[in-house]
Homo-oligomer: A and B are copies of this chain.
């Protein structure tokens, strides 16, 4: 592999693969191209990862872990429910801003390769159940106080996810449609962040 880097070859390959998968998805990315971007022979990709599938799994698992752990992260205790919701949306938004192409990759691959679902399933099962139960009970308290309207934790999480995910899923379309520069688009993103949080918080109202 290239001598101008002290990274281990497998990491260089992994990074090249990651970028290409994020750009074009699994099907349209070839190991030949990954090798070219990584600056090595195509056989080396297979030497380290055996199959293109395993290489993809490595990328997929990395980000699945990152997203899931962020989503189920417990917020501080000594803040209001509204503030907790705000922070949850905020954290998700920032994670997406740093990894804007991940939703595309996930939806694409989960839709085309149902087998990948089971991989995600086992990863999510334990952690999410605990988190959702906790949230459910907090919501129940708020409802009984009359602070928010009747709803479930699933309802709320789905709203938060929908608003934030779709922004980044549609980013490439929006950029072209609105003929925006990258900085103009950053502004739109920030505006929409505020709008998303507004919608989420208003949606709680009794």
Contacts and interface: CB of A to CB of B under 8 A. Distances in A.
A42 to B, nearest CB: 20
Interface string A14-50: 0000000000110110000000000000000000000
Interface residues of A, number: 40
Query: Taking the full assembly, how many copies of this chain does it contain?
Result: 2
Contacts of A118: 176
Contact of A121 (B108, B170, B176, B205): B176
A158 to B, nearest CB: 7
A114 B203 contact: no
A186 interface: no
A116 B156 CA distance: 34
Given A195-B155, A203-B203, A166 B161 contact: yes
A192 B111 contact: no
13 contacts: A107-B108, A108-B108, A111-B169, A114-B176, A117-B172, A118-B176, A121-B177, A158-B166, A161-B166, A162-B163, A162-B166, A202-B205, A203-B203
